[in-house]
Amino acid sequence: DIQMTQSPSTLSASVGDRVTITCRASQSISTWLAWYRQKPGKVPQALIYKASNLESEVPSRFSGSGSGTEFTLTISSLQPDDFATYYCQQYNSYPLTFGGGTRVEIK
C-alpha cells in the first residue's frame, strides 16, 4: 500500500499569510494526487487534482505542485475561510490512501 505523509500536522497562521503544506508518497504516484479542504463540520471539498490542476470554482490563491513522491499545496494569501483541515489523496493505485491531514489554525 502507498503511504501518504503530510507535514506539518498542525500549522498556525494569520490572515494574509502564505502557507505551504507538504505531502510525501511512499512510492512514486506520478501526478495522481488530489488535495481536499474540510471545514469544521462540513464535507471535504476538492481543491486540486492531478497534482496541479485547480478544481472548478476554487479560488486562484490555491495552487499545487509536485510529481513522483513529493507534493505541495500552497495558499498564497490565507483567508478566514481557509482555516480548516487539508488532506492529500493518491489515486495512482489501490487501495487509495489519504494523508493524515494538516489542520490550519488561527495564530
Partner 1 sequence: QVQLVESGGGVVQPGRSLRLTCAASGFTFGDYAMQWVRQTPGKGLEWVTVISFEGRDKYYADSVRGRFTISRDNSKDTLYLQMNSLRHEDTAIYYCAKWAETAARSHVDYWGQGTLVTVSS
Using the minimum distance from each CB to partner 1, give the nearer residue, 83 or 100. Answer: 100
Interface with partner 1 includes 32 (CB under 8 A)?
yes
Reference 13, options 66, 69, 86, 70; nearest CA is 86
Interface with partner 1 includes 104 (CB under 8 A)?
no
Q: How far is the CB of 15 from partner 1 (least distance, A)?
A: 25
Using the minimum distance from each CB to partner 1, give the nearer residue, 12 or 30. Answer: 30
Interface with partner 1 includes 92 (CB under 8 A)?
yes
What letters, b where the CB count within 10 A reaches 16 and e where it falls short, cover 24-51?
bbeeebebbbbbbbeeeeeebeebbbeb
Interface with partner 1 includes 84 (CB under 8 A)?
no
Straight-line distance from the first to the last Cα atom of the chain, in angstroms, rounded to the nearest whole number:
36
Using the minimum distance from each CB to partner 1, give the nearer residue, 24 or 100. Answer: 100
